[in-house]
């Protein structure tokens, strides 16, 4: 992964709320400890899990606000 790619991915996985910055996942730290192959695998697995949860939410109650939250998490 290039430095630019890591920065772009980290920007997507960082939220700012009331002036506080919070990293959902610290990609830089993960890359230092585990390498790019493992980190990419983790991110793909997390996306698959979110997709499964979204599918289950839609089947049970597609009007729940949790559907919107899950979509936001997937495309963050």
Task: Give one DSSP letter per residue of the chain, joined into a string.
Answer: --HHHHHHHHHHTEEEETTEEEESS-HHHHHHHH-HHHHHHHHHHHHHHHHHHHHHHHHHHTTSHHHHHHHHHHH-
Q: Is the pLDDT of residue 60 over 80?
A: yes
Q: How far apart are the C-alpha atoms of 23 and 11, rounded to whole Å?
A: 9
pLDDT band at 66 (very low <50, low <70, confident <90, very high): confident
pLDDT in tens, 12-24: 888 888 989 999 8
The pTM score is 0.71
Q: Is the pLDDT of residue 33 over 80?
A: yes
* CB of 44 closer than 8 Å to CB of 56: no
């Amino acid at each position: 992964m290039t430095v630019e790619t890591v920065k772009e991915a980290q920007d997507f996985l960082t939220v700012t709320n009331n002036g506080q910055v919070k990293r959902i996942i610290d990609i830089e730290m993960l890359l230092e400890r585990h390498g790019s192959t493992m980190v990419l695998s983790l991110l793909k697995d997390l996306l698959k899990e979110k997709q499964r949860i979204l599918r289950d939410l839609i089947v049970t109650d597609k009007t729940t606000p949790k559907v919107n939250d899950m979509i936001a998490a997937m495309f963050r």
